A and B are shown apart, each in its own frame.
Chain A
Amino acid sequence: MKTAAELKHGEKARISDINSDNPSYKRLIEIGFTPGQEIELVNTSVFNDPMAFSIRGTLIAIRRNEADCIILS
């Protein structure tokens, strides 16, 4: 099962589910990470964490462990 944390620079993928084990999962959904959406890893910070994703026409930075609960199809 691949998650958004494993994406490479410029790689696109579609979200299949959000893992509700992560306490931040509701906020991730609210900000636009919903199943069916396409995301692209655009930037990672100097220490590879946080990671910036392009989603729904904007850029959102989240931590690697948060990206790890975004399950890709």
Chain B
Amino acid sequence: MTFDVAKRIPLITLVGPPNSGKTTLFNYLSGKNFKTVNYPGSTVEYYTCKMQDKFNIEANLLDSPGIISLNPNSPDEEVTVNSLYNHPEYGTPDLIIVTADASQLSRHLLLTKQLLTAGFKVILVLTMKDLLEKKGLTVNIEKLSRILRCDVVFVNGRTGSGLNDLIIKAEKNIKELSHEKSFIPYFIPEQLSKENLLSLYSEIENLTRAVIEPIEPPDIEKINKKIKVLNPVLQEPTLQPDLFTLKLDRFLLHKKYGLIFFFLIMTTMFTSIFWIAAPFMNLVDDLFSLLASSSSELLGNTWYSHLLSEGLISGIGSVLVFLPQIIILFLILGLLEDTGYLARGAMMIDKPLSKIGLNGKSFVPMLSGFACAIPAMLAARTISNRRERLLTIFIIPLMSCSARLPVYALLVAFLTPSDKPWLGGVLLASIYLFGIGSSVIVASIINKFSHKLIKANDNSSFILELPAYRVPKLKIVLKNSYVNALHYIKRAGPIILFLSLIIWFLTYMPNHTPQIDTTGLSHDEIIHAEKSERLATSYAAHLGKFIQPVMTPLGMDWRIGVSLIAAFAAREVFVSSLALIFRVTDDENIQSSLLTAMQNATNQHTGEPLFTTATVIGLIVFFIFALQCISTIAVSRKETGSWRIPVLQLIIFTSTAYLFTLIVVNGLRLVGVN
């Protein structure tokens, strides 16, 4: 493949080992409007953007997942390595900016050396110079640059100093490009034998010994003394890990306290999702109820007024209401990751998870599953063992994702007596624990039969760097949470909007202006009678007759059935669909008026109350198990490479959900709970 570089925008790819400051550098270089792109044919996500305007370089910038070597060890790394050689959309990078931690020079130079051997044009960015300086050492970058024959710069991740230097070097490199023909990088993974690797490492060790130097003390008289002190350090310049990290690990990775801290951190995380989010959720809820009531007042008792207030505003509002929880969940996950704790969590939980066929590296995907199954399945790509990866993906839908929160919030509120608000928290916590417990059981069952269900078996391994603890970079964590939340709205928003409209249509048509006997009825009563008449003769009611036989054994009627079907597009639609079916448009907040409507609803089939303790608990059980999200199925298909796993997930989880709901509802009734 050849192309004239001068005719198109050059591509700069950022590459680096994990924890080398690559993401920080990307944040400095990228403008505000970066976007995520998928590597074609897979779902490995990249960030791509133009270089910030102020740098005055016309170039595309591509960020890639961290790799430690060009010899890939997981699907994630494989895609990254392949994309370096020839990205289907962008081609081969014209310039690679590779990051390396100056205090980890010997380990991080491996990748740089491999990239240079492969023939790429490389600029090496050394980060965390301050960590090295604390030990009285620095890197002679002129010397390193001469030996490696590539440009080397220092960039400080905290202050951004050194960026200008990097830009100048990048500009120079790009200018040189236009005179050269494109190249085909030399593919090296195959020839990386043990001997190759070891000789590469000893070459790097000699190199680091040559370039790591003591910081020159200003006082010449003390030099001789200093050299004596520094000499033993110079032999093995960077052998001591961060002391603070070692001290903290004595507690956080302690055999007994470690587990206590682990559960404490997880509990704090989940409780804060509910407590911190509550006031924001009320705010969003109030805002949308106000919008709905004022728009229906403004437009009167007309079909378009109903469409706007009941179809659009209530539908969107009942879903946006839990956006605060999603943002907080992403925020806490980001903070935990940035402090370096998540890797420790993975280490602590590796042994128990490996017993049920998973891996310590399943921990982060499973944790992300509490936010959303989709990023969680993508996160499973860091698991190198295919079987463990597939099993992780398999059970992720059992993690209680945030889309289920509004459903649980509503159902739990229904079950919670107003004088015992604490019961709600306990109930929610038990739902989460029940979900986790079930996923453990499902994983161990599937692990037993896994050779039939999941046809893959290779080496199980757990090799993970425990990064030094550090104060999280709030700005970056905030930015990432914002991007994730935005991403989420963009993906879920249109589906929810579309379905809200469909459900409104199904429950409103064809009898949009019902003829009723209005004699002796007040204005409000007329509206109410019109509503019930319209619904009873609607398409949804017709559709419901087909579902009724399935719903009757559960003690529910077609209205819940329709909502459950709608929830297959996205679980949170269940709430907006109930709100639509029960025509909730009161001026007070949507949730409490929906609760009142639920309390008054009777089963149209039997005449008994529709929402009882038994049926509501049954619904909760249904939502714990059922795989009700089209996007999850699509991502599962993409990530596992076939329809086998998503179809199995759909069948197993949904039939389990129905069966358990049946058992729970009827079991509860048997023991007298109604």
Contact = CB atoms under 8 A, between A and B. Distances in A.
Interface of A: 18, 20, 23-32, 34-35, 38, 42-47, 49-50, 52, 54, 56-63, 66
Contacts of A63: 350, 461-463
Nearest to B458: A23
B465 A57 contact: no
A30 B68 contact: yes
B104 interface: yes
Contacts of B192: 26
A61 B107 contact: no
Contacts of A32: 106-107
Contacts of B202: 34
A61 B463 contact: yes
B362 interface: no
A30 B348 CA distance: 23
Interface of B: 68-69, 71, 73, 103-104, 106-107, 110, 192, 194, 197-198, 201-202, 236, 238-241, 245-246, 249-250, 253, 255-256, 258-259, 343, 347-348, 350-352, 360, 458-459, 461-468
Contact of B255 (A18, A38, A44, A50): A44
A25 B238 CA distance: 23
Contacts of A26: 71, 73, 192, 194, 197
A57 B239 contact: yes
A28 B73 CA distance: 11
A27 B461 contact: yes
Contacts of A45: 253, 255, 258, 347-348, 350-351
Given A57-B238, A59-B249, A60-B466, A29 B255 contact: no
A25 B347 contact: no
Contacts of A54: 239-241, 246
A46 B258 contact: yes
Contacts of B352: 47
Contacts of A49: 350-351
Given A46-B259, A56-B239, A29 B347 contact: no
B104 to A, nearest CB: 6
A61 to B, nearest CB: 4
Nearest to A59: B466
Contacts of B360: 50, 61
A58 B468 CA distance: 8
A59 B465 contact: yes
Given A26-B71, A50-B350, A31 B258 contact: no
Contacts of B347: 45, 50, 52, 61
A24 B460 CA distance: 9
A31 B351 contact: no
A34 to B, nearest CB: 5
Contact of A60 (B103, B259, B464): B464
A51 B197 CA distance: 24
A58 B352 CA distance: 25
B258 A57 contact: no
Nearest to A28: B463
A14 to B, nearest CB: 11
Contacts of B348: 45-46
Contact of B249 (A24, A27, A42): A42
Is chain A's interface secondary structure helix, strand, loop, or mixed overall? Answer: mixed
Contacts of A43: 249-250, 253
16 contacts: A27-B463, A31-B68, A31-B465, A34-B198, A35-B198, A45-B253, A45-B351, A46-B256, A47-B352, A49-B351, A54-B246, A58-B104, A60-B465, A60-B466, A66-B461, A66-B462
A62 B198 contact: no
B249 A18 contact: no
A24 to B, nearest CB: 4
A54 to B, nearest CB: 5
A46 B466 CA distance: 16
A34 B201 contact: yes
Contacts of A27: 73, 461, 463
B462 A38 contact: no
A68 to B, nearest CB: 13
Contact of A31 (B107, B241, B467): B107
A70 B287 CA distance: 62
Interface centre among A23, A30, A42, A60 (most CB of B within 10 A): A30
Contacts of A29: 194, 197-198, 201
A73 to B, nearest CB: 15
B194 A18 contact: yes
A35 B201 CA distance: 10
Given A50-B360, A52-B253, 15 more contacts: A20-B194, A23-B461, A25-B194, A26-B192, A29-B197, A30-B69, A31-B465, A32-B106, A42-B246, A43-B253, A44-B255, A54-B246, A58-B465, A59-B241, A63-B350
Contacts of A34: 198, 201-202
A12 B201 CA distance: 21
B465 A66 contact: no
B344 to A, nearest CB: 8
Contacts of B459: 23-24
A24 B197 contact: no
A28 B462 CA distance: 10
Report the 5 A-B pairs with minimum CB-CB distance, sorted nearest first: A23-B459, A47-B351, A57-B238, A59-B466, A61-B347
Contacts of A18: 194
Contact of B343 (A28, A61, A66): A61
A38 B461 contact: no
Contacts of B250: 43
A63 B274 CA distance: 36
Contacts of B201: 29, 34
A52 B259 contact: no
A31 B348 CA distance: 20
A40 to B, nearest CB: 9
Nearest to A38: B239
A38 B106 CA distance: 14
A56 B242 CA distance: 11
